[in-house]
Structure 1
Amino acid sequence: MSVPTSPNASMAGHPYYPPDLVLPGFMPNKTAVPILLMSFAGAAGFVFWTTSVLARTVQPGISKGKLLTAMWFMLCGCIHLFFEGYFARHNGAMPARIDLFGQLWKEYAKSDRRYLTRDSFVVCMETVTAVAWGPLSFVVGWFVIKDSPLRHPLQIILSLGQLYGDVLYYATFFFDESVYGAVYCRPESFYFWAYFVLLNGFWIVIPAWLVIQSTIESTKAFHFAQETAKQRSPK
C-alpha cells in the first residue's frame, strides 16, 4: 500500500490522513493507546470467560471445538451489537466522541479514516452488522452450547453475512485507493497491517472455516436422511 507522507501531518490538529482532512468538532483522545488496547482485550477476555462458564454449566462435556466456536459467536455478538452498534448510533459525531468506545474507534480510524467522515458504505455496513448479525451471533452461540439442530443453517447464514461484509469492506478500501487515489490510512505500516489487515482478517478466516464446517455437517445429515429413507421405502 502506498500512502504519501507529509511534513505537515503534525500541523493538521489530528493524526489522520490526509493531513488536510477536515473533522468538525474533533477532540483528541485522552487515554493512552496501551490502555485502550488492554481495555478492549480485557473485555474480550471477560466474554470468553463468561461463555466458558455458561457452556460448561449447560453442557459439562462440551468439546473444545464447540466451546471455541461458542466463544467466537458470543464475542461477535458483543462486538457487533454494542461496539459497532455504538458507531451506527454516533457516526455523525465520531470526531468529538471521547468516551471509551469513541476513543477506541478513533484509534482504529488511524487505519481507516472513513469512520470519522461518515462514509456512506461504512455507516450502512456497520448498521446492518449491528442490527442483523449482532443479535443473531448470540442466538448461534447459544445454539452451539445447546447442540441445537438449528445451529448449522444459522451458522452458515451468519458467517456468510460476516464474510460478505468484510470482503466488501476490504474491496472498497483498495478500490478507492487505486482508482481515486483516496488516502484512508496513516503511512506507518503498523496501522495498516495490525489494525486494518489483522483485526478484520479474523472475519475472513473464521467465518470461511465455519461455512465449510456447516456445509460438511449439513451434507452428512442430508446423506444420512436420504439413506434412511431408501432403507425404509418399500421394495
Structure 2
Amino acid sequence: MDEQTKQSLLANGFVALLVTGGFLSSQLLLPKRASRKTRFIFTWLAFDALCHSIIEGSFLYYSTFGRSINTSQGFLAYLWKDYARADKRWGWSDPTVVSLEILTVLGAGPLAAYCCYLLLNDVAAYHYWAVVLSTAELYGGFMTFCPEWLTQNKNLDASDWMLFYVYLCFMNLAWVFIPFYLLLDSYGSITAGLRTVAGATAAVTKTQKSK
C-alpha cells in the first residue's frame, strides 16, 4: 500500500469514526420512541459538532500564528495534508478559508451541539437555531468555493477520483443538502406552529365578537 492510499484510508476512516460517534449518541441519548427523522437529524448534528470541533478545530490550530498544515506534524495534520491534495488552500493557510473556519469552529460547532441539546429535550427553539446553523453552513460553503469558481479553480485538483468525488464533491455537498433539508424541516414546523396560533387567535376573536 502506497503512502497516499494509506493517508486517504486513515482520513476517511477518521471521518467515519465521527459519524459512528454521532449515530451511537443518537441511539444512547434519544428515547426509544424517537422517529427515524429525529434520529437522523440528531446523528447529523452530533457528527457536525464533532467534525467542526475536532477536525476543523485542529485545522484552525495548525493554520494560525504562523503555522500551516503543510509545515505541521501530528496525526490530524497528516490527515489534513491528504485533503489539501484536493484543495491546496487548506495546506498553506489561505486567509479566507482560515477566517471562515474561525466562525465555523467557534460558532457552528458549539451551535450544532446546542441544537442536539434542544432536540434531545424537545425544545421548540430548536427550529430557530437549526435555521441559524444551516444558513451559516450554506453561506460558509458558498464563500469557501466561490473564490475558486471566480479564479478558474486554480487551487482545486480533480485529477484523481478520490480527490474529486470523495473530498470535493461528497464531503462538501453533504454540508449543502443536509443543511438545506434542515431548513425545509424547520420551515415546515415553524409555519405549522404559526398557523395553529393564527387559527386559535381567530377562533378567540370570533368568540369574543359573537358575545
Name the TM-score, length of structure 1 as normaliser. Answer: 0.80
Matching residue's letter, 2:175: W
Distance in 2, matches of 1:136 and 1:111, equals: 28
User: Within the alignment, does 1:214 sit opposite 2:162 as a pair?
Assistant: no
Q: Secondary structure at the match of 2:111?
A: helix
Gaps of at least 5 residues in structure 1 are 1-27
Report what 1:195 is aligned to: 167
Report what 2:50 is aligned to: 78
Mapped contact 1:111–1:195 kept (Cα < 8 A): yes
Name the TM-score, length of structure 2 as normaliser. Answer: 0.88
Report what 2:177 is aligned to: 205
Distance in 2, matches of 1:153 and 1:32, equals: 39
Gaps of at least 5 residues in structure 2 are none
Instruction: Note the alpha carbon deviations across 1:170-193, whole angstroms, 9 max, x for none.
Output: 212211226xxx243252243122
Q: Secondary structure at the match of 2:34?
A: coil
Equivalent position to 2:100, from 125, 139, 155: 125
Instruction: Note the alpha carbon deviations across 1:10-50, whole angstroms, 9 max, x for none.
Output: xxxxxxxxxxxxxxxxxx98954323322331232123212
Mapped contact 1:30–1:98 kept (Cα < 8 A): no
Note the aligned Cα RMSD (angstroms). Answer: 1.9
Q: Secondary structure at the match of 2:68?
A: helix
Aligned ranges for residues 161-172 of structure 1 at < 5 Å? Answer: 161-172=136-147
Matching residue's letter, 1:62: A
Equivalent position to 1:112, from 87, 91, 94: 87
Say which structure is richer in helix: 2
Aligned ranges for residues 1-235 of structure 1 at < 5 Å? Answer: 32-55=7-30, 59-91=31-63, 92-177=67-152, 182-185=154-157, 187-233=159-205, 234-235=208-209
How far does residue 144 in structure 1 lie from its aligned partner after superposition? Answer: 1.4
Mapped contact 1:110–1:185 kept (Cα < 8 A): yes
Structure possessing the higher relative contact order (Cα contacts under 8 Å, 6 or more residues apart) = 1
